[in-house]
A = this chain, B = another copy of it.
Amino acid sequence: MRDAYQEQMSALNTVLGQMVEEVGRAMEMSTRSLLEADLELAERVISDHDAIAEQSVEAEDLAFKLMALQAPVAGDLRSIVSGFQLVSEIDRMGALALHVAKVARRRHPAKVLPEEVAGYFEEMGRLAVELAHNAHRVLESQDYHDALSLMDDDDAMDDLHRHLFTVMMDREWEHGVSAAVDVTLLGRYYERYADHAVLIARRVVFQATGKTPEQLLEAS
């Protein structure tokens, strides 16, 4: 019974790892479609999105099968519940990448971003993809030290996000309200994407140690 559990749990983590890698790729393409007004790339993110939704269903089915194994022990149950929560986080990251692609498509052939903020989004995109990649890595390794350090990578995103508002507010913004609205929403999408990657790391810490990051800190 233990063997069946280990085997299926590892299958679940593999699917989750693939999913987070895919939402990372989606955000990479979305960012490029945004920066280069590349309609084809935006369309590809939009049409690929269904595949992510299908993987979610597959992952939830795997988690339900794990639960149905005769009497998994308490710690196992917590890991399985984490599995469901991880599916939600990754789904949400996929939806946010999709939102970015849709903004790029809506404004095509125009570029969405005024030149003076394009660099911010290039960097936010790079960070987002890196966070997804690292989330994949800690999901596979279940290394809670790595997961804890991933949680700090979010700070760089928050800094960029704050600076973006400074650019819009404090300097002479000459690009009108429409561009400001787009930049505001896009900034929010990247920031939330990073938040979800951090939540994945939190759940890995919990799966690996049975403690929240705060509880670990208290104990050390």
* Chain A residues within 8 Å of B, Cβ to Cβ: 63-64, 67-68, 70-71, 74, 77-78, 81, 84-85, 88, 165, 168-169, 173, 177-178, 180-181, 184-185, 188
Number of identical monomers bound together in the oligomeric complex: 2
For A168, the chain B residues whose CB sits under 8 A away are 177-178, 181
| A212, closest chain B residue (CB) | B57
CB distance from A37 to the nearest CB of B (A): 19
| A175, closest chain B residue (CB) | B177
For A64, the chain B residues whose CB sits under 8 A away are 74, 77-78, 81
Q: Select which of B71, B74, B81, B165 is within 8 A of A84 by beta carbon.
A: B81
Cross-chain contact B185 with A177 (CB below 8 angstroms): no
Cross-chain contact B178 with A181 (CB below 8 angstroms): no
Pairs A–B under 8 Å by Cβ, sample size 8: A64-B74, A71-B71, A81-B84, A84-B84, A168-B177, A169-B178, A180-B184, A181-B184
For A74, the chain B residues whose CB sits under 8 A away are 64, 68
Contacts A64-B74, A68-B77 supplied; 7 other A-B pairs, CB < 8 Å = A64-B77, A67-B77, A67-B81, A85-B85, A168-B178, A180-B181, A184-B185
CB distance from A66 to the nearest CB of B (A): 10
CB distance from A84 to the nearest CB of B (A): 6
| A183, closest chain B residue (CB) | B181
